[in-house]
């Protein structure tokens, strides 16, 4: 994955969590995962299709999810489990939607699909071009994990624009750093508050 | 939740009635909480665009708050169909997918405004007043009406 795909998601998650929780967030652990995804607690999955394809998973333990749902709605516990799951889905939807909006304004075209609750304990094993970046956002309510696996749909971009892949990708966004992991890690450090 | 001066219907001083359309129960509940803070009333809710069309005819709301990404029928198409059947309808799109292409498409199909999620209550409040225009009145602290 390249940096220009990841940064909008970091910015969007920071904004959505910050506004909803009314406190700043910081980015903790960051890692690349190529093994099968393992669910940590209550998780929401959003698929994206178009020039960029893949999925984003928001995942947190159930206690954190309850605290976040209650803070977002300014209610006291207990809320129903269904509403807590819906809260995680809506948060995933807002982060993905905001990030997609940024990428769309940069020239990428795609569609965001309605979020779903992830019930499987384990996802499929990642492949070379869909390896997942896992970011941990530290909030006052607990840790929120964002697991991103996205890739360029090169064929679709070429068909639409009739350009070479390199031209399309390089022309649509800022120059990418040498390696995504290094640049994301550097960004995470800068974003931490 | 901050406090807002209630927005009422100018014609009869009654609370503004809202139809909230979003596939997320959480999002609908969150909007209901904001509407209550505006002194408004939930006239109905729907979880997809198709249901929104029939609900509009049933409850005849003053304002529709409409999400975009939904199953069965998405919000922009639903807004267009509501506008075709009820040209007087006031539809405000409320979505996280706020890129220019979507906003333009929604406005071209008759939506009056676009509010980006996560919803800031103070932003939605101003949009509601703007969209209601002379049909909405902001009540002052003493309960007397004041033009919006």
Does the beta carbon of A73 lie under 8 angstroms from any beta carbon of chain B? Answer: yes
List, for residues B2-34, the tens digit of each pLDDT value. Answer: 789 999 999 999 999 999 999 999 999 999 999
- All structural domains of chain A, each given as residue ranges with its CATH number in brackets, are 3-175 (3.40.1550.10)
User: Which of A97, A113, A117, A172 best tests the B interface by mutation, with the highest count of B CBs <10 A?
Assistant: A97
The bridge status of strand B113-116 relative to strand B91-95 is parallel
> From CA A104, how far away is CA A51, in angstroms rounded?
10
The arithmetic mean of pLDDT across residues A53-80, rounded, is 86
What average pLDDT does range A142-146 have in this prediction? Answer: 95
Question: Which pLDDT score, from 0 to 100, does residue B147 have?
Answer: 42
Q: List the single residue in A with minimal CA-CA distance to B102.
A: A101
Residues B73, A114 contacting (CB under 8 angstroms) = no
Q: What is the ipTM of this complex?
A: 0.83
CB contact under 8 A, A19 and B29: no
Of A72-86, A168-182, B17-31, B46-60, which gets the smallest average pLDDT?
A168-182
Which of A74, A86, A112 comes nearest B25 by C-beta?
A86
- Is the pLDDT at A161 greater than 70, yes or no? no
Give the mean pLDDT of A128-147.
87
pLDDT at A17 exceeding the cut of 90 = yes
Query: Which residues from B are below 8 Å from A19, CB to CB?
Result: 118, 120
By C-alpha distance, the chain B residue nearest A88 is B26
> Residue ranges per domain, chain B?
14-130
Topology classification of domain B14-130: Rossmann fold (3.40.50)
A47 phi/psi in degrees, rounded to 5: -95, 145
Q: Which residues of B touch A (CB under 8 A)?
A: 1, 23-27, 29-30, 33, 69-71, 95-102, 116-118, 120
At A3, which helix (H) or strand (E)?
Answer: helix A3-21
- Asked if A93 and B101 come within 8 Å (Cβ–Cβ), the reply is no
Q: Are strands B113-116 and A26-33 parallel, antiparallel or unpaired?
A: unpaired
Q: Does A177 touch chain B (CB under 8 A)?
A: no
Report the gap between the CA of B10 and the closest CA in chain A (Å). 30
pLDDT of residue A163: 57
The helix-helix angle for A154-161 and A165-172 (nearest 10°) equals 90
Going by the DSSP 8-state scheme, the letter that residue B38 receives in this structure is: T
């Amino acid at each position: 994955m390249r940096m220009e795909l990841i940064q909008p998601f970091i910015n969007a998650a920071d904004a959505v969590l910050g506004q909803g929780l009314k406190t700043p967030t910081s980015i903790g652990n960051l890692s690349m995962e190529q093994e099968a995804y393992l669910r940590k607690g209550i998780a929401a999955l959003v698929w994206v299709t178009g020039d960029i394809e893949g999925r984003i998973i928001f995942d947190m333990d159930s206690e954190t999810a309850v605290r976040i749902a209650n803070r977002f709605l300014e209610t006291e516990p207990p809320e129903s489990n269904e509403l807590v799951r819906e809260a995680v889905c809506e948060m995933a939807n807002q982060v993905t939607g905001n990030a997609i909006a940024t990428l769309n304004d940069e020239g990428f075209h795609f569609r965001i699909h309605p979020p779903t609750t992830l019930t499987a304990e384990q996802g499929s094993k990642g492949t070379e071009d869909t390896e997942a970046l896992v970011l941990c956002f530290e909030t006052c309510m607990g840790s929120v994990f964002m697991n991103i696996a996205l890739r360029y749909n090169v064929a679709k971009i070429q068909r639409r624009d009739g350009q070479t892949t390199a031209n399309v990708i390089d022309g649509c966004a800022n120059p990418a750093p040498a390696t995504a992991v290094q640049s994301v890690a550097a960004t995470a450090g800068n974003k931490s508050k | 939740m901050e406090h807002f001066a209630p927005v009422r219907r100018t014609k009869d001083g009654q609370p503004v009635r809202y139809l909230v359309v979003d596939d997320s129960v959480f999002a609908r509940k969150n909007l209901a909480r904001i509407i209550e803070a505006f002194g408004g009333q939930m006239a109905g809710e729907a979880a997809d665009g198709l249901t929104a069309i029939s609900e509009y005819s049933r409850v005849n709301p003053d304002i529709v708050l409409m999400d975009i990404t939904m199953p069965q029928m998405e919000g922009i198409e639903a807004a267009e169909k509501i506008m075709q059947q009820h040209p007087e309808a006031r539809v405000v799109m409320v979505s996280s997918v706020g890129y220019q292409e979507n906003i333009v498409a929604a406005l071209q199909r008759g939506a009056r405004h676009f509010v980006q999620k996560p919803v800031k209550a103070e932003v939605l409040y101003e949009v509601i007043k703007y969209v209601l225009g002379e049909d909405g009145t902001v009540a002052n602290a003493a309960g007397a009406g004041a033009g919006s």
